[in-house]
Amino acid sequence: MGKIILENIKLFGFHGCIPEESFLGSYYTVNIEVELDFHKASISDDLSKTIDYVYLFRVVKEEMAINSKLLENLAYRIIKRIKKYRIDLIKKTKIKICKENPPMESSVDRFCIILDDIN
């Protein structure tokens, strides 16, 4: 068993419930963990036996381009697409999405949500 981890993907997006967020946007940081069995890939050196991390990045980038009111919805969509891609290999997924410098009345560095696996 092993994990593919993409750390600190930094993207700009327009997510949130506050009207200003839909036209001003914010920076986001995304971390993804995909747990799977590496055994066949490690022996064969064959990309088709594992998860392509370039594909994982592309999914995050494409889903970030679709506005959501809730980061929970964004995380759900990303995990759903990743699992659909290689349901035969994936044992568990986890995503953390952070909104950097959220528009709040006091100083907050970031607001984050974590979603573990979905069925």
| Residues tagged active-site | 99
- How far, CA to CA in Å, does 16 sit from each of 28, 59, 69, 90, 102? 12, 20, 4, 30, 9
Q: Exposure string (b/e) for 75-100, b if CB count within 10 Å is 16 or more?
A: bbbbbebbbebeeebbeebbbbbbbe
